[in-house]
Amino acid sequence: MTRKECVRRILGEFNAQPQHDSATAWAPANIALCKYWGKRNSELYLPQTSSLSVSLGDLGTQTTLSIASDCDMVVLNGHKVEPENAFARRLSAYLDLFRGDKPIFFHIDTANTVPTAAGLASSASGFAALVLALQSLYGWSLDGCHLSILARLGSGSACRSIYHGFVEWQAGIADDGFDSYAEPLPETWPDLRVGILTLSTAEKPIGSRQAMQHTLETSTLYRAWPQQVESDLPLLRRAIAERDLHLLGQTAENNALAMHATLLAARPAILYWLPESVQSIRTIHDLRKQGAAVYLTMDAGPNVKLLFEKNDVECIRERFPKVAIVSPFA
Amino acid sequence: MTRKECVRRILGEFNAQPQHDSATAWAPANIALCKYWGKRNSELYLPQTSSLSVSLGDLGTQTTLSIASDCDMVVLNGHKVEPENAFARRLSAYLDLFRGDKPIFFHIDTANTVPTAAGLASSASGFAALVLALQSLYGWSLDGCHLSILARLGSGSACRSIYHGFVEWQAGIADDGFDSYAEPLPETWPDLRVGILTLSTAEKPIGSRQAMQHTLETSTLYRAWPQQVESDLPLLRRAIAERDLHLLGQTAENNALAMHATLLAARPAILYWLPESVQSIRTIHDLRKQGAAVYLTMDAGPNVKLLFEKNDVECIRERFPKVAIVSPFA
């Protein structure tokens, strides 16, 4: 099954004509506590394993989609993007799935409140916001499950950015991916905080899609990754249900470091870490020895994110003066 | 089977009385190209997997063993070590295996040309030198296989430091470990160089024995480690037979990073790396992009070792002015 066939199956019953000239939508970025790492189908972005994330409150992407006359035009963070740019081409290729038989073009004005391509998953909030803007522009009334599948066809982890709060993406087993979508967990955790240490905003030497594929193909240790996820997911669900920060933090940290471990064991290795990444990890471990309940997670990049609770905000700010603190549930 | 029973089985046929008042022996340090990482029996130091190393020429340990009157005495690098010190107790406990029925004590004067406990495996050359000194003191005529087994009972990787050059330690399958010993490979490689970057000589936060056990017990990714070794060993043997530095270096680097990856995925993680470790790895990767044939390996510590050939010595010295260069076959 192709991406286009998936989209047709979902949209078959809906009107193929836009209902408005323009629509705006917003979606949150998300940070995985159990990572999506490895695809079983790279056309449909079907994952090897399930994953679990928390959406980042007011950090995310806002996108305005309008009907354009004779070609797509992309504006990113207020700057026009050349059509041959990889980002513009990826968006246009995704929008091809929705154009139907008649030629139709879009003006896409998108703005991130997270640094693009700095390991903060702006593609997740980006594709989720785009799907929500499409729903609004066309006047669909798709449910969350179908919106999540459509977002997944843009970027795997985008399927989780359809929702706020804790979100679990079931890997599914079907070849067509119709059982592979995200759902929100009912729990909230008002005191939970996520700290973001931006150590580098440089473009990554290798994007996460390529890194994931290279790891899957060459890292012997990756063979144990599905077992890692299998043991981490129930621990995370329990930690969330019991608001147990230690269990949440230990498990998320172990999962993230295990993901980086599979990258390190790839051949050749992919080392996203900077010296500053190691320094930050060591500082976090020191803080923990001193009694602070702070844990870390990392995505496919050099930046470090902190997990802690409201009562440790001052201690964290003192040790990491440049930290950006997000309240996912406040 | 206990360590003492192993020793008795090996020494049964030999005279239990020292033949000399004093004996001196020397053994080289070694660096594993395929790491010994995880025990299947921690009393007998039997490994989960086979391993392969190169001995470090004139870096190693010299030990003089003499008969003492009423207690053991240890001198390390010219300084007397208190008997309650962990190092002295470990040596005395090992020498207990050889004392037989009559009380006998030893003066052990041992000197390393590698920094103690800085990840350069001074315990490997230390126990190998001690076994060779015992053989000389007692006038045994044990073959390399039995000497290797005796050294293994002091510290696993010591079984490889009995030999110069490339050495392979067969894991074996027997419960008594009598098939678990090292043997030298016939090949030499006169142009091979090992560079040692000592980034820290501080004692490690956790010793490699404990780290190994913690990783085995808690690191899900460790489950794939035996497969890593199974694929790396034949590649290393081929690289050595064909003097193929690229294959040797790629494989040794991948193996070492995979070992660190299993540590990183332990729960809680063991992070031996310093910011300087990451900086060195990045510099080596940059050198390689510029065409230099230089690869790295690391043991359970923050230090980085380089693998290269004679013709790149100048380039390496320029980039790493403090590097110590060893010629294993010169």
> Which pLDDT band, with edges at 50, 70 and 90, does A121 fall under?
low
- B3 has pLDDT over 50: yes
Among A250, A278, A288, A304, most B C-beta atoms within 10 A, so best to mutate, is: A278
In whole angstroms, what is the distance from residue A21 CA to residue A137 CA?
A: 7
pLDDT in tens, B252-264: 999 999 999 999 9
Q: Which helix (H) or strand (E) holds B260?
A: helix B245-264
- Closest Cα in chain B, distance from residue A227 (Å): 7
Q: Is residue A328 over pLDDT 90?
A: yes
Q: Does B205 touch chain A (CB under 8 A)?
A: no
The pLDDT assigned to B183 comes to 98
pLDDT of residue B15: 61
If you average pLDDT over residues B146-150, what whole number do you get?
Answer: 98
* Closest of A310, A282, A293, A78 to residue A197, by C-alpha: A282
User: Angle at which helices A225-241 and A245-264 pack, to 10 degrees?
Assistant: 160
Contact A61, A29 (CB under 8 A): yes
* A-B contacts at Cβ under 8 angstroms: 96
- Report the pLDDT averaged over residues B138-156: 96
Mean pLDDT of chain B: 94
The string of pLDDT tens digits covering residues B5-36 is: 999 999 986 667 899 999 999 999 999 999 99
Is there a contact between A276 and B275 if contact means CB atoms under 8 Å apart? yes
pLDDT above 70 covers what percent of chain A? 97
pLDDT at A42 over 80: yes
* pLDDT attached to residue A15: 61
Whether B241 and chain A come into contact, CB under 8 Å, resolves to no
- Phi first, then psi, for residue A194 (nearest 5°) are -120, 125
Q: Is B188 a residue whose pLDDT tops 80?
A: yes
Contact criterion met (CB below 8 Å) for A50 and A160: no
Residue B120 has pLDDT above 70, yes or no: no
How confident is the model over B111-135, as a mean pLDDT?
Answer: 82
- A269–B254 C-beta distance less than 8 A: yes
Contact call for residues B26 and B60 (beta carbons, < 8 A) = yes
Contact check, Cβ <8 Å, A221/B231: no
Interface residue B36 vs chain A (CB under 8 A): no
pLDDT at B201: 78
**Which of B220, B227, B253 lies closest to A227 in CB terms?**
B220
pLDDT band for B155, please (50, 70, 90 cuts). very high
**Identity at A39, one-letter amino acid code:** K
Q: Please write the tens of the pLDDT for every residue from B279-307.
A: 999 999 999 999 999 999 999 999 999 99
Interface check B114 vs A, CB under 8 A: no
What pLDDT band is residue A117 in, cutting at 50, 70 and 90? very low
> How much is the average pLDDT of A6-17?
84
Is there a contact between B138 and B15 (Cβ–Cβ < 8 Å)?
yes
Out of A223, A264, A274, the one facing B261 most closely (by C-beta) is A264
Whether the per-residue pLDDT at A145 is higher than 90: the answer is: yes
Q: CA-based Rg of chain A, rounded to a whole angstrom?
A: 20
Q: What local confidence, expressed as pLDDT, does residue A16 receive? A: 75
Looking at CA atoms only, how far is residue B115 from chain A in angstroms?
24
Spatial separation of the C-alpha atoms in residues B86 and B107, rounded to whole Å: 17
Partner residue opposite A265 with nearest CB, options B257, B278, B281: B257
Banded pLDDT at B101 (limits 50, 70, 90) = confident
Q: Do A261 and B223 touch (CB under 8 A)?
A: no
CB A166 within 8 A of CB A190: no
- Chain B residues in contact with A221 (beta carbon < 8 A): 221, 224-225, 228, 258, 261-262, 265
> Is B255 part of the contact surface with chain A (CB cutoff 8 Å)?
no
> Is residue A85 within 8 angstroms of chain B, CB to CB?
no
Q: What is the pLDDT of residue B114?
A: 73
User: Tell me: the pLDDT tens digits for A69-81?
Assistant: 899 999 999 999 9
Q: Which residue of A has its CA nearest to B220?
A: A228
Contact B225 A222 (CB under 8 A): no
Which residues lie closer than 8 Å to B289 by C-beta, 6 or more apart? Answer: none
In the chain, the amino acid numbered A22 is S
* pLDDT for position A30: 96
Mutate to test the interface with A, among B220, B230, B251, B267 (most CBs of A within 10 A): B220
For residue A141, what are its two tokens? 């009334």
Residue A49 and residue A225: Cα distance in Å, rounded? 9
> Would you place residue B89 in the very low, low, confident or very high pLDDT band (cuts 50, 70, 90)?
very high
> For residue B163, with 0-12 CB atoms within 10 Å meaning exposed, 13-18 middle and 19 or more buried, which class applies?
buried
The pTM for the full model equals 0.94
Name the residue in chain B with its Cα closest to that of A251: B267
Per-residue pLDDT, averaged over A121-137, amounts to: 93
Task: List A50's β-bridge partners, or say none.
Answer: none
Is A272 touching B (CB cutoff 8 A)?
no
pLDDT grade for B118, boundaries at 50, 70 and 90: very low
Mean pLDDT value of segment B160-186: 98
Lowest mean pLDDT among A9-13, A47-51, A55-59, A115-119: A115-119
Which residue is closest to A230 within chain B, CA to CA?
B220
Distances (CA, A) of B313 to A215, B156, B253: 32, 32, 19
Residue for token pair 């990714």: B221
Question: How many residues in chain A?
Answer: 330
Inform me whether the pLDDT recorded for A115 exceeds 60.
no
CA nearest B276 in A: which residue? A275
Question: Does B265 lie at the interface with A, CB-CB under 8 angstroms?
Answer: yes
The region that residue B289 occupies, defined by phi over 0 for left and psi between -120 and 50 for alpha, beta otherwise, is alpha
Non-local CB neighbours of A89 within 8 Å, separated by 6+ positions: A83
Query: Is residue B119 over pLDDT 80?
Result: no
Average pLDDT, chain A: 94
pLDDT of residue A116: 53
Helix axes A144-152, A3-11, angle to 10 degrees: 160
Q: What percent of chain B has pLDDT over 70?
A: 97
Q: Which residue has the tokens 């996520």?
A: A194
Cβ of B257 within 8 Å of Cβ of A269? The answer is yes
Say what the pLDDT of residue A256 is.
98
Q: Does A276 touch chain B (CB under 8 A)?
A: yes
| Burial class of B107 by CB neighbour count within 10 A (0 to 12, 13 to 18, 19+) | middle
pLDDT-derived band at B204 (thresholds 50, 70, 90) equals confident
- How buried is B159 (Cβ within 10 angstroms: 0-12 exposed, 13-18 middle, 19+ buried)? buried
Q: Is the peptide bond before B184 cis (omega within 30 degrees of 0)?
A: no
Q: What are phi and psi of B48, to 5 degrees?
A: -70, -35
Task: Check the CA dihedral B321-B324-B328-B330 and report its sign.
Answer: positive
Residue B116: pLDDT above 70? no
Q: Do B228 and A222 touch (CB under 8 A)?
A: no
Nearest CA to A162 among A140, A144, A174? Answer: A144
Q: Which structure tokens are listed for A245? A: 């920060």
CA distance A169 to A167: 7
For A43-64, how does the pLDDT look when each residue is reduced to its tens digit (9 = 90+)? 999 999 999 999 998 899 999 9
Taking the CB of residue B283, how many other CB atoms lie within 10 A of it? 16
Residue in chain B closest to A231 (alpha carbons) equals B220
Q: Does A220 touch chain B (CB under 8 A)?
A: yes
Among left, alpha and beta (phi > 0; psi -120 to 50; other), residue B119 is left
Chain B: closest CA distance from residue A233 (Å): 14
The separation between CA B97 and the C-alpha centre of its own chain, rounded to angstroms, equals 21
Helix intervals (H) in A159-244: 208-218, 225-241
Higher pLDDT, A100 or A157: A157
Closest residue on chain A to B232 (Cα)? A220
Mean pLDDT (whole number) for B245-251: 98
CA–CA distance, B271 with B283 (Å, rounded to integer): 20
DSSP for A28-41, written as a single string: EEEEEEE----EEE
Check pLDDT > 70 for residue A199. yes
A247 at the B interface (CB within 8 A)? no
* Confidence (pLDDT) at B102: 77
Tell me how far apart the alpha carbons of residues B11 and B100 are, in angstroms, rounded to a whole number. 10
Q: Does residue B46 carry a pLDDT above 50? A: yes
Chain B CB contacts of A264 below 8 Å: 257-258, 260-261, 264
